[in-house]
Structure 1
């Protein structure tokens, strides 16, 4: 599949953060705006063409290595079992076979008889190639049996007036039509090894008057065409249009590339010049099943090429200015969508007192909700987070979370459902404004004391209506009759919130005992005082 035409000056609006399981990998290579890149996946690996090399990652985006010193890679395909990849090298007029386990070139296939190798397609063990340098120079399509060690390319079509773009699956070959009908696609039967024209797909509507990019579902039943304004699917038995995808004239955007999933169920579209990013569509119904904006955080990223592997979508992103290529992985993008909502009480909460948040898990139509376990995380204002006890939904999908915030400030809660083998997980967040808990402190004891006797008094510290669970300390100060002040130290409160203080005044007069709790992240400060008169005893 060929890439759509690019243009400079992309401006992308800020996008929400992607899923925590998504990934972004710097591929360690740079391309200019005019360079070309393709991405394919197979055998648990992802292959990205980048100038003179093919960079290889695993399906989580981790770099595995690269096949280097290649004469300008233009396209790459991979066998269904992932054992071999084939890369087109137009500068050296050859296709190289790559052992994907060893990440090494094992065979070079000579295409010197065919100029300007532009496109590859692989169907079973047959490699199809398209050639053509300029308009009206006679584009050529060849086939080659890659299972035969000494196989040579065989010309299947020639004399095309434009540089061909091809897609092949089963016994069907799609070919971009001559320039006079730029939006049309020719459909050939190649069951006998040669190409027999079956008809054409009429893409001549005003909105699809440009030459389309094209692909075909692996079973050969459906053609997918990409135009700047969106996508179309066509039934290849009747050559009739099935449906449109993503074509919304009210939303700014232009298609830049697309991919069809190996099972033929999903279409991933990449957009630019707007705020659309990546969109997934159900090929059978046309429904949009997933959207994700282009990630922000570095200048003007754009999608160059896309692939679907398993449940994940991979996009190669180009960043103008730095020109670094990045591999953007969207995990589980092809799965059916779920949704989690979470709501916090509008009146906020008080630290150290229970607060309840409510939410709902929604699954695709027809799927029983049952009792689903949800993971809950609490985020405190200092940036730390704690995993709380899992909660379970009721049979209607509703759930509640009750927690006691340990601190004041804005406390965040994240709730997530991990998903299943067919349904994508989802996450929701909500924040609660938590105010400080009120603290109170009371002192009791004798108000008169005979000089030379020890003074004992006691107190109680409360947070709201309860004793402090953390057993904090209070500070005790004594105001002396001569106007000086003496710090008597700190006393830790008991589990019930009580504490005792003793002192031995050394002169007659009026004393002021003050007990202070300074407060903390959860509670306000408080204090209380006690006046004590010390007098001389009787003789």
Structure 2
């Protein structure tokens, strides 16, 4: 370089030595091998046989029908997106599935529970599936361009609807006819319109009722106000029992239709009861607002209303049982034939997340409402009062008793308190003196009866605890890299718990908080753990509290320097000048200073260069500068040659917290290395 460090110059009037960084860069290439496996199989062979129940929750992406099989105690679910029919037990555990039922839209089960029928409108077929083995028995072709869409089993036949919006109709499949016999088991155009002036537009909804064999309800779907009918199919050919022409007097469109046991009513859209007689329909009352429903064989209604499923006794206005599902995305539901459960397809909460099968137990039991109110805070060992109320839409027995428990740190599994008798107005209260502090939970439970399901309620009380003392030494101290430092925690007075944890959380996101030690303090209240100080470290002592003394946590931060050294090369000798040893260089030789420092990703060393002038050391212009460390922790810097003799200089490296690219260590400086330039 030029003679920028000449002795006659002011040390601030020049740029000093030139500095060029040398880093070894290692490159690597990564090759990624991707294996793709594609499975091709025919629809008829894509069957997973029913077997042992798995823990998986039944899930469908796009609901395509739900039906419960009473004799086998199974639930069948269609998924139109996947083209599958899955089967679960009554707990909702998946037993198996059938694939290839393209666009499956509805399901029905035979009266004996032996066969499940699936409508597959995209391929214009009805599948007969063995309900026990999931074998596909028969695939019936329906000669239509639209459907079949909805299916029902009644009078020994499978009934289905098909057709476009302006030309809907009814067809049937006779499962006793073998397609190989030459006789077509599928019969179309069976809605009895000739001479009646009746008919449907669109692919109508269908429903049956086991207490009314051979009766079929039909709901039109093609208009803004829809027609509906009740048909007698017991003879194998539909006969019109009652018909309503859509004229806005009974509905503004039909989204759901159910036969009501008793043979005189249908339920429309989960809400409106319409009676039929003498071939006509008329309004006969309604349930509270709902969207759709299913009616049990005994007439109890299971209704979807927003985010809830509610059951009602026939004609009731107050719900029998209420299930809060937490989402309004319930797509379908059906009763278990034995009335013990309702099965619902409930949205996951994410619009595109599909639907899970929910099993709702005890639907014919009235579920009471129980409240319990405890004070939010209380003093340990002082009397407190808990109050509450129980109510039900079906009258409760007189003298109802509630079981009461208290859960606290002394009784983590709960301690039974005296039972409390409910007053005639449904209210109750009891007193208690909490022996333990912390979170105390009071719980009241009604066990239920022949008409009511069990119910419980609870509330939490923050009960006071005494503060203890906890300390931890060595806060703020700075240590050499790798020093083994003993941190000692001291615990004051407590009740039963004398355990303390000591944690070490090194700076930097790549190392987690680590439990160093957990144990009982000694007779002096002390416990210690050793930390290898390679980084600045937050050391934490934790007392988790007990029944009478509150938890406490204290933190002590210890600081760790880095390892740093420098090596000077290109000199021709070393010799003392005054009290310092100097590295001697010819004036046209550029010294190379190699720094070795504890490595950390993105870390840089700071290099300082000073020259001696008129009895003082001065930093050269541009000094200090930062240079990146290689992954081996080294950084080699060429200082440049001054081109003049008689120059004294010195150099050192440092790690500076934050400025060196990270904050995991504390400021550390190497020793000065002294340089002299001669001719």
> Which TM-score band applies after superposition, normalised by the shorter structure?
0.5 to 0.7
Note closer, same or farther for the CA distance 1:149–1:398 as it changes in structure 2 (3 Å cut). Answer: farther
1:87 Cα deviation (Å)? Answer: 0.9
1:404-445 Cα shifts (integer Å, max 9, x gaps): 545433422233334345422212122223122699xxxxxx
What's the CA shift for 1:359?
A: 4.0
1:429 matches 2:455: no
1:59 and 2:90 are equivalent in the alignment: yes
What are the within-5 Å matches in structure 2 for residues 102-501 of structure 1?
A: 102-112=133-143, 115-123=146-154, 125-132=156-163, 134-136=164-166, 138-146=167-175, 152-155=185-188, 156-157=190-191, 160=199, 162-163=201-202, 164-169=204-209, 170=212, 171-177=214-220, 182-201=225-244, 204-205=247-248, 208-226=251-269, 231-237=271-277, 239-247=281-289, 255=291, 257-271=292-306, 276-295=307-326, 302-309=329-336, 310-319=339-348, 320=350, 322-345=352-375, 348-352=377-381, 355-362=384-391, 365-369=394-398, 372=401, 374=403, 376=405, 378=407, 385-389=412-416, 392-394=419-421, 396=423, 405=434, 407-436=436-465, 489=523
How far apart are 1:147 and its partner, in Å? 5.5
TM-score (norm 2): 0.52
Q: For each residue in 1:64-89, what CA deviation from the matched residue of structure 2 results, as whole angstroms up to 9, or x when unmatched?
A: 22112222211111235533211112
8 A Cα contact 1:25 1:328, kept in partner:
no
Aligned partners of 1:335 and 1:313: how far apart in 2? Answer: 12
TM-score (norm 1): 0.64
Displacement of 1:225 in angstroms is 0.3
Change (3 A) 1:236 1:385: farther
Indicate how the Cα distance of structure 1 residues 343 and 102 shifts in structure 2: closer, same or farther if over 3 A, else same. same
Cα deviations across residues 164-191 of structure 1 (Å, max 9, x unaligned)?
2232343433223596783332233334
- Which residue is equivalent to 1:100? 131
What is the Cα deviation at residue 47 of structure 1? Answer: 1.3
Higher strand share: 1
State whether residues 242 and 276 of structure 2, in contact with CA within 8 Å, keep that contact through their aligned partners in structure 1.
no
Deviation string 1:347-395 (CA, Å, 9 cap, x unpaired) is: x433355655344544554552456563636266x9x952332754537
1:107 to 1:421, Cα distance in 2 relative to 1, 3 A: farther
Unaligned 5+ runs, structure 2: 1-54, 194-198, 469-492, 499-520, 526-542, 551-679
Matched-pair contact (CA < 8 Å) for 2:157–2:236: no
For the residue of structure 2 that corresponds to 1:66, the secondary structure is: strand
Please report the RMSD computed on the Cα atoms of aligned residues, expressed in angstroms.
Answer: 4.0
- Separation in structure 2 between the aligned mates of residue 306 and residue 326 of structure 1, nearest angstrom: 12
1:83/1:99 contact within 8 Å kept? yes
Q: Deviations over 1:456-476 (max 9, x none)?
A: xxxxxxx9xxxx9x6788xxx
The answer to whether the 8 A contact 2:169-2:200 is kept is: no
Q: CA deviation at 1:325?
A: 2.8
In our comparison, the structure showing a higher alpha carbon Rg is: 2
Q: Deviations over 1:127-175 (max 9, x none)?
A: 211111x233x32212334466668133422774512223234343322
User: C-alpha separation between the residues in 1 aligned to 2:312 and 2:247?
Assistant: 23
Aligned residues: 408
Q: Does the 8 A contact of 2:158 with 2:173 survive in 1?
A: yes
Residues 99/323 of structure 1: CA separation in 2 closer, same or farther (3 Å cut): same
Question: Could you say if the C-alpha distance between residues 524 and 294 of structure 1 is closer, same or farther in structure 2, counting changes exceeding 3 Å?
Answer: closer
Contact 1:373–1:390, Cα closer than 8 Å, also in 2: no
Cα–Cα, structure 1 residues 322 and 154, in superposed 2: closer, same or farther, change >3 Å? closer
Conservation of the 8 A alpha-carbon contact between 2:408 and 2:436: no
